[in-house]
A and B are shown apart, each in its own frame.
Chain A
Amino acid sequence: EVQLVESGGGLVQPGRSLKLSCAASGFTFSNYYMAWVRQAPKKGLEWVATISTSGSRTYYPDSVKGRFTISRDNAKSSLYLQMNSLKSEDTATYYCARQWGRQGYFDYWGQGVMVTVSS
C-alpha cells in the first residue's frame, strides 16, 4: 500500500525558515517524480514544486521560486521542502504527492501538514 506521511509543519514567523519532510513507503520511491502541492485555508489547490527521479531536475512556480527548494533522498525514500523567507501568503496545508512522470498527474497524496506563517 502506497503511503506518504508529511511532517515538520507548524507556526513560524514571517521571514523565517521551515523544512517539511515526506516519508514514502509501499512503492519504489526512486522510480517516481514527486511533488508538493499546497492549499491555503478555504482556497483551491496550488502546485508548489516537482522533482525528478534522480533529483537533478526541479520545477517551481514563480510564487515560490528562489525561496523554496525541493529535494529527495532516494536511499531514505524521503522527500523534502525547504522553505525560506516565509510570507503570510505561504500559510497553507502542504501535501506531498506522487507524480506520474515529468508531465504527470498526482496519483497518491499524503494527509497534509499545516504551515502557519504569522507573527
Chain B
Amino acid sequence: DIQMTQSPSSMSASLGDTVTITCLASQDIGNYLSWYQQKPGKSPKLMIYGATNLEDGVPSRFSGSRSGSDYSLTINSLGYDDEGIYHCHQYYEYPNTFGAGTKLELK
C-alpha cells in the first residue's frame, strides 16, 4: 500500500499568515493527489485535486504544488474560517490512502 506521510500533525498560526502542509508519498503517485478540509463535526470538503487544481468555489488563497514525491497545500492570508483538519489523499491506485491529517488552529 502507498503510505502518505503528512506533516505537521498540528500547527498554530496567526491571522494573515501563510502556512504550508505537506504530504510525502512512499511511491510515485503522479498528480493523483487531493486535499480536503474538515471542520469539527462536519464532513470533509474537497479543496484541491490533481495536486494543483483548485476546486470550484474554493478561495484562491489556497494552492497545491508538487515537488517529486512531496505534495504541499499552501494557504495565504490565513483567516479564522481556515481552521480545521486538512487531509491529503492519493487516488493513484487501490487501496486509496489518506495522510493522518493536520490540525490547523489560529492563535
Interfacial residues, chain A to chain B (CB-CB below 8 A): 37, 44-47, 50, 59-62, 95, 100, 103-112
For window 31-66 of chain B, which residues contact chain A by CB distance below 8 Å?
32, 34, 36, 42-46, 49-50, 55
Q: Which one, B32, B42, B44, contacts A106 given CB within 8 A?
A: B44
Tell me if B78 is interfacial: C-beta within 8 Å of chain A.
no
CA distance A112 to B45 in the complex (A): 13
Name A61's closest neighbour in chain B (CB-CB): B95
Residue pair A45, B95 in contact (C-beta under 8 Å): no
Name A59's closest neighbour in chain B (CB-CB): B94
CA distance A110 to B87 in the complex (A): 17
Residue pair B95, A105 in contact (C-beta under 8 Å): no
17 sample A-B contacts, Cβ–Cβ < 8 Å, listed by A number: A37-B44, A44-B100, A45-B89, A47-B95, A47-B96, A47-B97, A50-B94, A59-B94, A61-B95, A95-B44, A104-B91, A105-B49, A105-B89, A105-B91, A106-B44, A108-B46, A109-B45
State the Cβ distance, B73 to closest chain A Cβ, in Å: 14
CA distance A109 to B49 in the complex (A): 15
Residue pair A109, B44 in contact (C-beta under 8 Å): yes
Tell me if B84 is interfacial: C-beta within 8 Å of chain A.
no
For window 60-107 of chain B, which residues contact chain A by CB distance below 8 Å?
87, 89, 91-101
Q: Chain A residues with Cβ under 8 A from B95's Cβ?
A: 47, 59-62
Q: Contacts A100-B49, A105-B46, A111-B43 given: A46-B55 contact, CB under 8 Å?
A: no
